[in-house]
Structure 1
Amino acid sequence: MATTPDAADSRSSRSRRRRILAPLALAQFICSFAGSNMTVMIQDISEDLDTTVQGVQTAITAFLLVMAALMIPGGILSDRYGRKRCLIVGLAIYGVGALLSAAAPGLGVLILGNSILEGIGTALLIPPVYILTTLLFTEVASRARAFGAIMAMAGIGAATGPLLGGFITSAVSWRAAFVFQAVVVVIVILLSRSLHDPLAPDPERDFDTVGAILSASGLVLVVLGILAADDNGWLMAALLLVGALVLAGFFRWVHARERAGAQPLLPTELFRDRTSNLGLITQHTQWLMLMGVSFVVAAYLQVVRGYSAIGTGVIFTASTLGLLISSLGAERFAKRHEQRTLIMTGFGVTVAGLGVLLAMAHGSPRAWVFTPGLLLIGLGVGLMLTPSVNVVQSSFPEDLQGEISGLSRSVSNLGSSVGTAIAGTILVTDPGIGPYAAALVVLAVIGLGGLGAAALLPHTPVPTHHG
């Protein structure tokens, strides 16, 4: 039977979309994987490098924080020097950081490679992923599918990090997990060669250096304040206060730049849309809960229960499975339910999972008791990742997609770093059952706050289907 021209064009179009999407989705996967896979290596790294659980927590939090602090400037640099170029440069820096981490003789070099170089690389490569997706997928339906695939890979990367990282650590070494990241980065670079950047770089674009320094400094100080909570209450209060003042100074600077007719790091109109602001709160909270739970459970299993890296990773298979199931169904759910409903349901299921995790795992020696709670948490987070991104991205026109992409990723990564910081701060003095329970309760309360923000989102019509 002869192939019609329309069928051939359709197949060619699908093939082209897959070629575009493959490197972008894989780049997002490896960055999310890097954010969570170290949680199952806590014990191995601390013993090998002669450091403490708190030292490894500092490296994990610093990686997430560097990403959050530099993500917005990374988006601006993408417009200035070209999205494809920044993607490749970011991947290269990330790969060097991964190899340096693999060879680290001590905690300092691990922080340089993993926290700083991988963090900088991620901040450079992630904004182009989202901007190129917006520019290359011009139809609403195809763009939604593309964002759905990328967010699914983000969630899957974060959820499979403990399992895959645990397997590699137990089978070879924790150092091999960083070599694995470098190998994936090389594959992404090779796949990215065929990408086309539809917009020419704008080297004349003004870069708001003062704004970048103020925003990054404010975020760093706030997270450092959370990390200082277990050591010194006065230091925590001072850092949080100074951080808040620096962020307030950032917004004053932005207003002054706009009044003077100069281009600020972020236009203030990004913060005037109520729907987008609520969506950003839900994104921040989702990643805070996911990374917070990952750190709490992984630290408890390894330090208190004495589980190996692979044993811990196997237990996390439940959350990976839940996230896979709900992420793969994201497009079908979006056709039947409004985004607000999906996000609210996701928070409800995630908070319920925290409750089940706390109730069943309390004092029981059996590993399976962690499964139901982690499964629910994976299902809940996977259910709301894509609609939260869609809510934010669709709140602004084409010409602001670069800025809102950078802000969206920064807010999500800040949630990851804050979640790890909060969980680690509660656990670090004594990772026993009391602090473990307290950390889960705190995360559940924060989740209820996210549910409240989701409830304030406006109702949106559900697409109607005939047939």
Structure 2
Amino acid sequence: MTERTGTGRFPETLRRALIAFALAQFICSFAGSNMNVMISDISRDLDTTVQGVQLAITLFLLVMAALMIPGGKLTDLFGRKWCLILGLLLFGSGAMLSAFAPGLGVLILGYSVLEGVGTALLIPPVYILTTLLFSDIGSRARAFGAISAMGGIGAVAGPLIGGFIAYAVSWRAAFILQAAIVLAIVLLSRRAVTDPLPADRSVPFDVLGAVLSATGLILIVMGILAAADEPLATLGLVTAGALVLVWFFASVRAKERAGREPLLSTALFRNRASNLGLITQNMQWLMVMGCSFVVSTYLQVVRGYNAIETGGVFTATTVGVLISSLFAGRLAKRRPQRTLIIAGFLVTVAGIVLLLALGGTSARIWAMVPGLFVIGLGLGGMLTPSVNVVQGSFPEHLQGEISGLSRSVSNLGSSLGAALTGTILVAGVDGSAPGRAYLLAMTAVAGAGLIGVTAAWFLPVDRHPGGSRSS
């Protein structure tokens, strides 16, 4: 059980570790969303095209999603704290390289590759160590609530912060800010973070599994991105990606039968609650990135608002995420995780309906605020219980694998959100009916919410973090 002080607060060391974890999740989410409002400035400064900068953003999301599973496995081999620090150093190095990039190629190397690989290394340890260090229901829920809140804030506040920095200083300053925050996390982690489990370097790393899993995910997302221009290419890429993933799972089973260590244990897919929880995580982050991408694109391209105005509107979502996340720990003690996840999806879908009803009929930018605020409330309320369901479904020795799988599924959701909504918008925003494209894109996001509700409905009613039963 997690020890508390006499005031009910976490001990100072745990508080510092939690701050480090929350800041790490914040900066990774921020890096994934703040570029959306700086595309024009970057393309002009680096003498490239908007499509080139969009490619860098897409590659960043893909590298994160594709390498998160191998990253989770490496935590068992080299230790969770070691991977956390290494991931932070790679991320910070990529940020500094991007800040001084003379061209698109260096930006892709720094942002898409180094920051993407760094994220894949540092995020699994954040969730593994949180699960191990905060062992009781209430404490773990509070910790995950803080981390999820900072992740949600980073994702939805990225456009505002990035737009302000780009407007007031330069887009390069946004990368310097990332490096500075990462340096602070490294210094804090070295002192405050401890690893309860020893590393086991005797276990061989499944290189073939890592290559197959990454290749399959990349092909599927790239296929969706190609849908607007090359429908046949989409079918081919998605089919190829699915076949590669089938090959991956076949190789996993073959290794287990031969008594060798695979990249992922098939035991991770035998838990009904975890499988359903992974679906909810994927849909949640699809909605986070989908809403952010669609609304920011619509406001800038269709309505003609600048980065500051666009980012300012997203403050409503940030406030909503923060408010609901702050109550995550308290709600986790009183309500089953299933109930919280279902309610979160329903509130988020209701927010999308409100956004379309008010924002679509008014020329005033602030008409979108109520809907975005409700969306934030819904997202913040369900991010934590989904993490609790998945992480709490497995014992300590599987935390590395399930954390990598969980974060991979979540980041894949972000990639799919950007790819799916971008595909819908690309034909309509510049065409004769941009409003219709916006409506269709947001309807697709709402559809993801209904899929999430369906998955959450079949979760065990009595499921609580760590496998506890509700009272």
What TM-score do you get using the length of structure 1 for normalisation? 0.94
Alignment of 1:346-361 (within 5 A): 346-361=344-359
Deviation at 1:7, TM superposition (A): 9.7
- Structure 2 Cα separation of the partners of residues 143 and 254 of structure 1: 31
Q: Is the 8 A contact 1:346 1:380 kept in 2?
A: yes
**SS class of match (2:11):** helix
Deviations 1:104-132 (A, max 9, x none): 23333222211111000000111111122
Structure 2's unaligned 5+ residue stretches are: none
Measure the CA separation in 1 of the matches of 2:34 and 2:61. 12
Residues 1:127 and 1:14: Cα distance change in structure 2 (over 3 Å):
same
- For residues 7-22 of structure 1, what are the structure 2 equivalents within 5 Å? 14-22=11-19
Supply the distance in 2 between the matched residues of 1:43 and 1:311 (Cα, whole angstroms). 16
Query: Percent identity at matched positions?
Result: 64
- Out of 220, 231, 234, the position equivalent to 2:232 is 234
Note the C-alpha offset of 1:196.
2.2
Following the alignment from structure 1 to structure 2, what is the Cα–Cα distance between the partners of residues 11 and 322? 26
Partner SS, residue 193 of structure 1 = helix
**Secondary structure in 2 matching 1:108:** helix
- Output the CA distance in 2 between the equivalents of 1:324 and 1:141: 18
Q: Which secondary structure state, in structure 2, belongs to the residue aligned with residue 197 of structure 1?
A: coil
- 1:446 and 1:266 map into 2 onto residues whose CA distance is 27
Residue 410 of structure 2: aligned partner = 412
Does the aligned pair in 2 maintain the 1:25–1:149 contact within 8 Å?
A: yes
Q: Say whether 1:445 aligns with 2:447.
A: yes
**Which residue of the partner structure matches residue 291 of structure 1?**
289
Structure 1 residue corresponding to 2:87, chosen from 86, 90, 94: 90
Q: Select the residue among 35, 40, 46 that pairs with 2:43.
A: 46
- How many Å separate the matches in 2 of 1:276 and 1:446? 19
**CA distance, structure 1, for counterparts of residue 236 and residue 450 of structure 2:** 28
CA contact (8 A) 2:127 2:403 kept: yes
Q: 1:57 aligns with which of 41, 54, 57?
A: 54
Q: Kindly indicate whether the alpha-carbon contact (under 8 Å) linking 2:226 and 2:234 is maintained by their aligned counterparts in 1.
A: yes
Please list the CA deviations of residues 295-334 of structure 1 after superposition, one character each: whole Å capped at 9, or x if unmatched: 1111111122222211111011110011111111111222
Which amino acid letter does the alignment assign opposite residue 65 of structure 2? A
CA distance in 2, matches of 1:435, 1:208: 43
Q: How many residues are paired up?
A: 460
The aligned runs of 1:29-428 (5 Å cut-off) are 29-194=26-191, 195-362=193-360, 364-428=362-426
Task: Name the CA shift for 1:12/1:455 in 2 (closer, same or farther; >3 Å).
Answer: closer
Residues 138 and 329 in structure 2, CA contact (< 8 A), matched pair in contact too: no
Residue range with higher mean Cα deviation, 93-102 or 253-262: 93-102
Give CA-to-partner distance per residue, 1:227-277, whole Å, 9 cap, x none: 000111110000000000000000000000000000110000101111111
Q: Provide the C-alpha distance between the structure 1 equivalents of 2:324 and 2:43, rounded to a whole number of angstroms.
A: 35
Assess if the C-alpha contact under 8 Å between 1:170 and 1:308 holds in 2. no
1:134 offset after TM fit, Å?
2.3
Asked if 2 retains the 8 angstrom alpha-carbon contact of 1:169 and 1:310, the reply is no
Change in CA separation of 1:49 and 1:437 when aligned onto 2, cut-off 3 Å? farther
SS of residue paired to 1:212: helix
Q: Residue deviations 1:328-353, cap 9 Å, x none?
A: 11112222222111111111111111
> Where does the alignment leave 5 or more consecutive residues of structure 1 unmatched?
1-5
Match of 1:434 in 2: 436
